[in-house]
Structure 1
Amino acid sequence: MIKSYNGEHTCVISKKNVEATSDWIAKKFVLVLRDHPEMTAKGIIAEMLKFGVHPSRMQVYRAKKKALEEIEGSHGISYSKLPKYAELVRIHNPSSICKIHYDMPNLIMKEPRFLRMFISFKAQKDGFLAGCRPFVGFDGCYLKGPFGDVLLTAVALDGNNSLFPLAFAIAETENKETWSWFFHFFEEYFGPFGSHVPLTFMSDRQKGLNLAYEEKVPQADARYYCRHIYSNLKLQFPGLLLRNYFWEVAKSFDIVGHNKAKAKIKDMNIEAWKYLSKIPVSAWARHSFKPEIKCDHIINNLTESFIAWVGELRGKPIFTLAEGLRRKMMKKFHKRFQNGCTWTNNITPKVVKKMKVMAQQYRKCELMLATENMFAVRDSEKTHRVNLTNRTCECGAFQMTGLLCKHAALGIVYRREPLEA
């Protein structure tokens, strides 16, 4: 339709023409997105310009929505595919777990409402029990779909200090109830965890997470996310000097350094010292961690990195999200297997890299021998006794991480032995 205003012609597009244009753009969207799923809206607009079409932002939005629904399915319909998906997981990936929980308040209700789903594959269980440290981080994040679901994750560390996803769940919200449901199946699938197992769970203490695992897996030691502790501390007691003292308290491997840094906080701000004293030291200070774990992590970067790794899948329908995570983890595990087959050393590459850094740090230390395996090392104003037979050092880092500290490394280099041994 063309109308004339003051001698100028203006094209007016009717609602029916707008919908037809959006449908045409959507068809082009489907063709482009199938070949280039990573293409953005700006890229699509550039493709449309090749056909002489100048779509508006709303046309692009509607067209992309239609195209994604045609390729991936709608968010609502995706939930109906989950029972069949769970059955296929059990058939084609035996010994895996895929549990779905529905809300069915009465028997008259024909279609129960989806609440949550828990998934973990056999390769994840075997890898955790065979090659990971008994240290697991837990966290949750909101999904970007229309129903406000959350993604609950459990992530461990493998022998190369790389992320090792253990399980994930999609739930209606993040609270003590959903986390208790998560830990019920986590303990059932990966456990049972006896009191003899040195297990540690890291959390940010938010939304009932720590209350849930203390109830479901009471034998696991709690470790708190230090960055979250500091964020709460900073709200009440801001200051750059206090921040430095806090991280000095948290990162110290020996009790002497811990108490010394904590005394500085007490002298500077007694209320901040009281606030930190209420938090169990064993949950956030390195020197009090169990050495059997061989993990000195005080921040929960492993789960945050995993959530970032999930990426655009957070906005996909639930079926596409679950299948997309399975594919990404399968590719990641196979790639690590291929890399592992090329290693010629018994020590993983990341550990070798740490050894090289350590080789630069011991140069400023002074060695005082007692026997071949027992000696003292003077480092600045402190002197540390090292016992290579027992793999201990008074600095605490040797027994806490299982890796050579700079004091032990100095004694090994003096004996002209390789650090990797």
Structure 2
Amino acid sequence: MIKRKEDVEPPTFDRLYYSLQGMKASFLTACRPIIGLDGCFLKTVHGGQLLVAIGRDGNDNMVPIALAVVQVENGENWTWSLRELLDDIGGLGENKWTFISDRQKGLIEALKEIVPDSEHRYCLRHMYQNIKKKYRGVELKGLFWKVGCTANKFDFENYMKLMAEADPKVNPTYETASEWLQKIPAEHWAGSYFKTDCLSDVVVNNLCESFNSYILGARDKSIITMLECIRNKLMKRMQQKKAGMEKYVGDICPNILRRINKNQKISRSYYAFYSGNQEYQVNCLSAQCVFGQYVVHLSKRTCTCGMFQLCGYPCSHACTSIGQERQKIEDFVHKYYSKMEYLRTYSHVIHAVPGQEHYFKTQYQPLNASVYRKQKGRP
């Protein structure tokens, strides 16, 4: 009997999806429905890419959900890894999740194909790296971040006008900074156009970059060894996070409490006027409020500045109104940011694993390593 070539040679590694039950359960238990997506290079002689999906806990720290090891970062591999991810955590074909990314090659098209109705945010820092190559200056930089970070459309339009004035159109062929921004749909990068379902004002994909740095020492190892190093780090990290929060005295996570305290400090120069039914008009006498009169509905948890409903905790205008009513700030903070929900996130376990000498042997042949590809540039 003559055996075919594919019957003789072991299969070659193509791509691998990796997610542990403890990772998924931590995210699904008490985290907001926002997922950061990013890719980074593997540093072995065989190359390859590591695609990561990262969530956020109640203290705005990273919660790794899943990894995928692929040969190259392209639309096909992003589509495959996203299908695996959404099949794993639920929500495939539903408008359930919010995604944020650096606009990687093929990822935008993959998200449009798989979850066309889900929100997809673009990282502002990545966008600024593109815009600053052509448009320089401290004034334009400041206006760019104000345009992207403001949470209401009125302030958005005002800052866009200021940007147009700072970079006027000198000739018909010249594309101004504001025109460059207007070519990108605002719902992808401007906080004023974001949906409020995920209770997050995040405009940068920094947690994915933090995770890529966190696993830097593992990325030059072979795939199984790399994944085992990552598992060990995450196993220890989950228990460290849990133990640290158990010692914390307070009901609101420390990073969120720090932001609320900052809002309270800013609010000291504001004046709130009661109009009935827990509605307040807040007048601002501060450099932080350029366009300075807002309406706060404490019963609806909204403010016309947009931040209260976008984040899920009181903005500076809401802090003034809450103080006027002699109520507690904690009563107006969403449960996502509570110590109790944080401990629920880290109540799960990534189990210990015996050494390779205890692994069960299967009837399958070992995988071949990936095809070696010579990298560009000097070795």
What interval of TM-score do these two structures reach, taking the shorter chain for normalisation? 0.7 to 0.9
Q: 1:252 to 1:278 in 2, by over 3 A?
A: same
Deviation at 1:418, TM superposition (A): 2.5
Matched, 1:417 2:327: yes
Higher Rg of the two aligned structures: 1
Deviation at 1:266, TM superposition (A): 2.4
Aligned to 2:252: 347
Are the aligned partners of 1:143 and 1:149 in contact in 2 as well (CA < 8 Å)? yes
Q: 1:391 to 1:365 in 2, by over 3 A?
A: same
Among candidates 195, 216, 237, match of residue 311 of structure 1? 216
Matched, 1:141 2:46: no
Are the aligned partners of 2:147 and 2:159 in contact in 1 as well (CA < 8 Å)? yes
Q: Give the letter aligned to residue 191 of structure 1.
A: G
Are the aligned partners of 1:352 and 1:420 in contact in 2 as well (CA < 8 Å)? no
Matched, 1:386 2:291: no
Larger RCO, structure (CA 8 Å, separation 6 or more) = 2
Deviation at 1:343, TM superposition (A): 4.6
Matched, 1:407 2:317: yes
Gaps of 5+ in 1: 1-104
Q: Give the letter aligned to residue 239 of structure 1.
A: G
- In structure 2, what is the Cα distance between the partners aligned to 1:255 and 1:106? 63
Matched, 1:186 2:186: no
Aligned to 2:141: 243
Query: Would you say how many aligned residue pairs link Structure 1 and Structure 2?
Result: 316
Aligned to 1:397: 307
Matched, 1:107 2:12: no
- In structure 1, what is the Cα distance between the partners aligned to 2:9 and 2:111? 34
- In structure 1, what is the Cα distance between the partners aligned to 2:185 and 2:324? 40
Gaps of 5+ in 2: 170-174, 286-290, 332-379
- In structure 1, what is the Cα distance between the partners aligned to 2:182 and 2:95? 29
Superposition map of 1:6-405 within 5 A: 107-108=6-7, 110-193=9-92, 195-197=94-96, 199-267=97-165, 268-270=167-169, 271=175, 272-343=177-248, 345-371=250-276, 373-380=278-285, 382-405=292-315
- In structure 1, what is the Cα distance between the partners aligned to 2:140 and 2:306? 24
**What secondary structure, in the 3-state scheme, does the structure 2 residue paired with 1:114 have?**
coil
Once the two structures are superposed, residues 25-78 of structure 1 have per-residue CA deviations (whole angstroms, 9 ceiling, x without a partner) of xxxxxxxxxxxxxxxxxxxxxxxxxxxxxxxxxxxxxxxxxxxxxxxxxxxxxx
- In structure 2, what is the Cα distance between the partners aligned to 1:238 and 1:167? 38
Are the aligned partners of 2:17 and 2:68 in contact in 1 as well (CA < 8 Å)? yes
- In structure 1, what is the Cα distance between the partners aligned to 2:139 and 2:320? 33
Which range moved further: 365-374 or 328-337?
A: 365-374
- In structure 1, what is the Cα distance between the partners aligned to 2:82 and 2:8? 29
Aligned to 1:34: none
Deviation at 1:372, TM superposition (A): 6.5
Are the aligned partners of 1:142 and 1:150 in contact in 2 as well (CA < 8 Å)? yes
- In structure 1, what is the Cα distance between the partners aligned to 2:91 and 2:155? 37
Scaled by the length of structure 2, what TM-score is found?
A: 0.79
Are the aligned partners of 2:94 and 2:115 in contact in 1 as well (CA < 8 Å)? no
More helix by share: 1
Q: Give the letter aligned to residue 67 of structure 2.
A: F
CA RMSD of superposed structures (Å): 1.9
Scaled by the length of structure 1, what TM-score is found?
A: 0.71
Which range moved further: 321-330 or 334-343?
A: 334-343
Are the aligned partners of 1:224 and 1:298 in contact in 2 as well (CA < 8 Å)? yes
**What secondary structure, in the 3-state scheme, does the structure 2 residue paired with 1:145 have?**
coil
Deviation at 1:133, TM superposition (A): 0.8
- In structure 1, what is the Cα distance between the partners aligned to 2:119 and 2:297? 28
Are the aligned partners of 1:193 and 1:219 in contact in 2 as well (CA < 8 Å)? no
Q: Give the letter aligned to residue 297 of structure 2.
A: N
Are the aligned partners of 1:149 and 1:173 in contact in 2 as well (CA < 8 Å)? yes
- In structure 1, what is the Cα distance between the partners aligned to 2:206 and 2:73? 19
Deviation at 1:416, TM superposition (A): 2.8
